[in-house]
Structure 1
Amino acid sequence: MLTTPTAPRVLSREMLDVLIRAGLVAVLAVFCFRIFVPFLNLMVWALILAITLYPLQARLRRRFPGADGSIATLIILVAFGVILVPAYLLGVTIADSIDHVMAVVKSGGFRIPPPAESVASWPLVGQRVYDFWQQAFTNLTGLAHRFAPQFKDAGLAVLGTLTGLGAGLLIFFFALIIAGILMAHGEKGHRSAVLIASRISGPENGVEITDLCTATVRAVAQGVVGIAFIQMVLIGVGFIVMGIPGAGLLALAVLLVGIMQLPATLITVPVIIFVIFTDGANTATIVFSVYIFVAGLADNVLKPLLLGRGVAVPMPVVLIGALGGMVTGGVVGLFIGPVMLAVGYKLFWRWVREQPELERVQEENRP
């Protein structure tokens, strides 16, 4: 008599059921991701802002218990004021700089000074620089027509950058509003984060991973983005008071340089040299030069105070996050990239070091 192989059939049916369920879950996840992905940068930025600003919310809540919504609204309104004033000054100075350049070009009053004879004696490139400079001095219009395609590409690149900045600022304002909503429900949000982390890595690790991510976000947001913003305000105010051409663009360059972990002196030192050469060495230029130079070095004092709080993140990680975020997400990615990469870096090394068997072997081999 032949027997029916019921066990393999049952096993195959169970496996088929599992595959079907997994496929349905995957399809649902893909659809949800496609719906959510247009808002991904907005929500990530809002979450970063909420985590960074929540300690202020908790401090004020001790004095005004039961007013979470009002406190969050007050914090967001103050943040709007702090951001809008520099943004307005930046926009005004950019508009003034563009108007000034257009007026000079239309009037024909822009002239290139003649090159010094010593330029031709520079090693390797001296003669080429001298010839190019001489052509710009004698026939600037012809030189402009010669390099018109390059000027057009550069203008389009600058226009695209300014458009990206405007879009990034608009996204930032929406992110602030969402961050206020998240801060008003901070306790529930923290419990939800612990539940999610516990579900992923186990109940014994949920609280630790949540605290690690929170500390990393605050440390990078305050120690990188915050310091760059403070430097931009300090240096930008000096540029505006001194009447530096393109002060808004230069201040923006200071912000970008600071986020990329490069020294602000790359911007401030050339400006100081320009001011001294154009206005001479008088009391105003000396005071301006000293102030701008010290403001350009302010990150050396602020970094140990802000970045040292919470979790230390290597500067190469922050730099790669800023550059990679800018390439993939534009201006918004420039801010989000360092924070997200720093969180991933800390979680990765926590996972690497969490090896109980390796710790036991190392403990046994110790003398």
Structure 2
Amino acid sequence: MQQDTNPELERRLFNKLLDVLIKAGLILALVITCYGIFSPFLTLMLWALILAVTLYPFHQRLAARLGNRQGRAATLLVLCGIVLIVGPTAILTSSLADTVTSFVHNMKANSLVIPMPAESVGTWPVVGKKVYAVWHQAATDLPAFIQSMQPKIGNIAKAALGMVASMGTGMLQFILSFVVAGIIMAYGLPGQQSARAISARIMGEGRGDEFATLCTATIRAVAQGVIGVAFIQAILLGLSVAIAGIPAPGVIALIALILGIAQIPAAVIFIPCVIYIWSSGDYATAPAVAYTALLVISGLADNVLKPMLLGRGVDAPMPIILLGALGGMVSSGILGMFVGAALLAIGYQIFMAWVAGDHLTPLSSAPQVTEQQDAP
């Protein structure tokens, strides 16, 4: 009797397993196909979502002043963002592209001019002699130096030109991300409900709200207190450098942005710029004083911006945010820098919450906000 039922049971189990495998394979194929279609827009959509989550409380306050017109408030916010942020960013990005292109062209044409190193360079500890020797060779016989470094320089030039070519696409994505963020904010309440439903589906009914709150608080803390402060200060410093007529304002702004994310004081940037103004001999006394004051004010702007924007602590360590920014920039360009910092901070928060125990709420959790402020 048992021998008669075993083949039937095996057949049923086999058919059931085959049915499950076919369904799983079809779902996997659908996921892969959808990802392939959506992947070109992934970075743009993630940055638009980060912008929407960060700006939504301000959007709600603006909508209240406009008679609760969500669409009009989102449109006004997007236009202001494009004028105040995208415009200066486009100017500095264009300057960065011009600087890189000019440097690569001059290097290939052997028209670069490098000043002789000071004798004090050779007295630097550990690396002084080596730096002095390389610098002296580059200053006295630049063509031979370039020839000796040709393989490395060729790779650097290709990477630099590739970066310049991607800047136009990056700026277009930057503008589109503001537009998409405006659409998300205009439909913030349905977006909030969808986000909480997805969180509940992934984490369970009891922890879905905690997960959504954790992600929202982390995004706003990183975007406002770290990326926002660094980005605004980099724009101010870059524009000040351009007004002062100092070479390569786009490069200086990019360095200021990276250092700002790493929480390194902007004095590392503006003090050499001030020294250049007073030592170059190209500035009269009155303009030099004015440009110095402008650089100092823009360089110290983070002292004002941080109390305004950093309303809550950032639980993720600064190295995590810096690694996320640099890794995102390498993989996805300028937008990837902002997206990578926020995503890696969220991943760190979730991992540490899992290590600490059952609750997902950060240790220094942000104060509870209203339903509308939590959206989208």
Given the alignment of the two structures, is residue 60 of structure 1 paired with residue 62 of structure 2, yes or no? Answer: yes
CA offsets, 1:48-98, max 9 Å, x none? 111112112211222234522222111111111113431343256457768
* Partner residue of 2:346 out of 343, 346, 366: 343
- Secondary structure of 1:162's aligned partner: helix
Given the alignment of the two structures, is residue 325 of structure 1 paired with residue 328 of structure 2, yes or no? Answer: yes
Q: Distance in 1 between matches of 2:334 and 2:141?
A: 38
Change (3 A) 1:8 1:58: same
TM-score by structure 1 length? 0.81
> 1:202 maps to what in 2?
204
Check conservation: 1:164, 1:331, Cα contact below 8 A. no
> 2:364 maps to what in 1?
none
> 2:157 maps to what in 1?
155
Q: Distance in 2 between matches of 1:8 and 1:100?
A: 73
Q: Distance in 2 between matches of 1:339 and 1:306?
A: 16
Check conservation: 1:242, 1:288, Cα contact below 8 A. yes
TM-score by structure 2 length? 0.79
Given the alignment of the two structures, is residue 77 of structure 1 paired with residue 79 of structure 2, yes or no? Answer: yes
> 1:250 maps to what in 2?
252
> 1:274 maps to what in 2?
276
Identity of aligned residues (%): 44
> 2:23 maps to what in 1?
21
- Secondary structure of 1:4's aligned partner: helix
Q: Which gives a bigger RCO, structure 1 or 2 (Cα 8 Å, sep 6+)? A: 2
How many residues are treated as equivalent by the alignment? 356
Check conservation: 2:230, 2:260, Cα contact below 8 A. yes
> 2:186 maps to what in 1?
184
Q: Unaligned regions of 5+ residues in structure 1, if any?
A: 357-367
> 2:298 maps to what in 1?
295
Q: Distance in 2 between matches of 1:112 and 1:230?
A: 32
* Partner residue of 1:307 out of 310, 315, 321: 310
Q: In structure 2, what residue type is equivalent to 1:303?
A: K
Check conservation: 1:215, 1:310, Cα contact below 8 A. no
> 2:368 maps to what in 1?
none
CA offsets, 1:4-58, max 9 Å, x none? 2155544444343333322322222222222222221121111111111211221
Q: Unaligned regions of 5+ residues in structure 2, if any?
A: 360-376
Which region of structure 1 is more displaced relative to structure 2, 263-272 or 168-177? 263-272
Q: RMSD between aligned alpha carbons? A: 3.6
Instruction: Output aligned runs, 1:117-128, within 5 Å.
Output: none
Check conservation: 1:228, 1:254, Cα contact below 8 A. yes
Q: Distance in 1 between matches of 2:229 and 2:118?
A: 42
Q: In structure 2, what residue type is equivalent to 1:222?
A: Q
